[in-house]
A = this chain, B = another copy of it.
Amino acid sequence: MNNRTSMGLAQFLVSSRLEEMPDVLIHEAKRSILNGFATAFAGCNDAVMDRLITTLSEFSGRPLASITGRKERFDVLTAAFLNAVSTNVFDFDDTHPNTIIHPTAPVSPALFALGEYQTFSGRSLLEAFILGVEVECRIGNAISPGHYKRGWHITSSCGVFGAAAAAGKILGLDAERMVWALGNASAQASGLVETLGSMAKSVGVGNAARNGLAAALMANDGVEGPNRPLEGERGFLKVTSESPNFAAVVENLGNHWELSKNTYKPYPCGVVLNPVIEACLEVAKTPGFDVSQVRNVTISGYSLLRERADRPMVETGREAQVSAQHAAAVCLLYKSASLNEFSDEAVHRKDVLWLRKKVDVIVDEAAVAGAAHVVVQCADDTILEAKVTHARGDAERPLSDKDIEDKFRDLIVYGRSGLDPEPVIDAIWRLDQIEDVSDIMVLARR
């Protein structure tokens, strides 16, 4: 079967139908897409978007396609690029836990851009989205954890296949052309972990959406690829991994769905900080709590928490996203853990600097993974404490639909598009009843 990985996957993609997919999966697709629009609204006016738009405006074709939260129009490929950038720029989008792929950013923007070029329904979009996510996450599974560890930015390097598969499904490619689409995507698979923390990360993620969409359009026009782009001796899996698990790409297709494992972040931080944030918010909300009286704060948890997040000194918002000291300080000071509290500006505030210094992170060998215990000692020797075992956003405590809606409402304000969140939220929940998906972009653009 190792020499039929690409063709086996392509045949599954061609034959799969939304009618055969479980309702709970279709609902998860809506949750992912809603969460993706939320983070795109948050990122739509970020500096990287302005700068990339400056460059790409000069070369864009017919302005058919819209940008979430903005008024400019671009050609379909450029719009796919830019909406993937805004969705992922803060790493506040969704996470497929096994691979750390952010699955929505490369796939959903490619599909919505294609929807402003060809007319298709919300049901077709949901079908293609579910399949695209399946492709990128299964390819990711086949090469995890070595691929990311080696230095591949897996959202980009695998995302291009997801976008190609999703767009290929909308275009109605047959199995041979679907393999070509995967092959054209393989020629464009890129993205390095070294770029994380810089704007160049967004260039990789934008390309995953743009180039995946282009790969499918090219295959549709007869641009032929190799027969075994994934499993070939010099194909994607062997070149970018030491010991690919070919079977992971095709086993149990149609019975098991990767999208069902998708998770959504409640806070714009590394997930190890989630229980720290919740414990600190609990302490901060104690009646009579006076932050000016805090003498010291001790955070204890499993060893990974200290390994990843013991960072008393931070200089940028991005570093703050993985600093337990910073997270504790802002939660106790502002009773909030939104993008505002993890901005470049926030890390240099005097009160934050003052409180960050009082925070220690220690390892509790007995603590379970994902748990944190926060103890705050005040000037009058009162002790306030809180323990969190499973934070929101964990697989054990997934965000509710209402949580994702509230995240959407917060982020649309943060992103300053001035748009009303309610019609977009409402339309995404009704996606399976919408005849023309470009209706959504009409609501989401300025």
Contact = CB atoms under 8 A, between A and B. Distances in A.
Interface stretch (A22-30, A232-240, A293-301): A232-240
A48 B191 CA distance: 26
Given A61-B61, A239-B150, A195 B200 contact: no
A190 B158 CA distance: 12
A198 B190 CA distance: 19
A252 interface: no
Interface residues of A, number: 64
B192 A190 contact: no
Interface of A: 47-48, 51-52, 54-55, 58-62, 75-78, 117, 150-153, 156, 180, 183-184, 186-195, 197-204, 207, 211, 214-215, 217-218, 220-226, 228-229, 232-236, 238-239
16 contacts: A48-B223, A55-B220, A58-B62, A58-B117, A59-B61, A59-B78, A152-B239, A186-B192, A187-B200, A187-B201, A194-B228, A194-B236, A198-B226, A199-B223, A200-B225, A202-B223
Contacts of A201: 187
Contact of A233 (B48, B151, B156, B222): B151
Q: Which of A59, A77, A207, A217 has the most chain B CB within a 10 Å cutoff?
A: A59
A223 B200 contact: yes
A222 B46 CA distance: 13
Contacts of A235: 151, 192, 194
B218 A198 contact: no
Contacts of A186: 192, 194-195, 200
Given A48-B223, A198-B183, A223-B48, A211 B207 contact: yes
A229 to B, nearest CB: 6
A198 B217 contact: no
Copies in the complex: 2
Contacts of A62: 58-59
Contacts of A54: 221-222
Given A151-B234, A200-B180, A226 B61 contact: no
B58 A192 contact: no
Given A151-B239, A235-B194, A239-B151, A218 B52 contact: yes
Contacts of A51: 218, 221-223
Contacts of A188: 190, 203-204, 207
A149 B199 CA distance: 31
A77 B214 CA distance: 14
Q: Which of A117, A180, A194, A225 has the most chain B CB within a 10 Å cutoff?
A: A194
A55 to B, nearest CB: 5
Contacts of A187: 153, 156, 190-192, 195, 200-201, 203-204, 207
B61 A234 contact: no
Given A151-B233, A187-B204, A188-B204, A198 B221 contact: no
Given A151-B239, A226-B197, A203 B215 contact: yes
Contacts of A77: 59
Given A201-B187, A235-B192, A76 B59 contact: yes
Nearest to A229: B194
Given A183-B200, A187-B201, A238-B151, A194 B61 contact: no
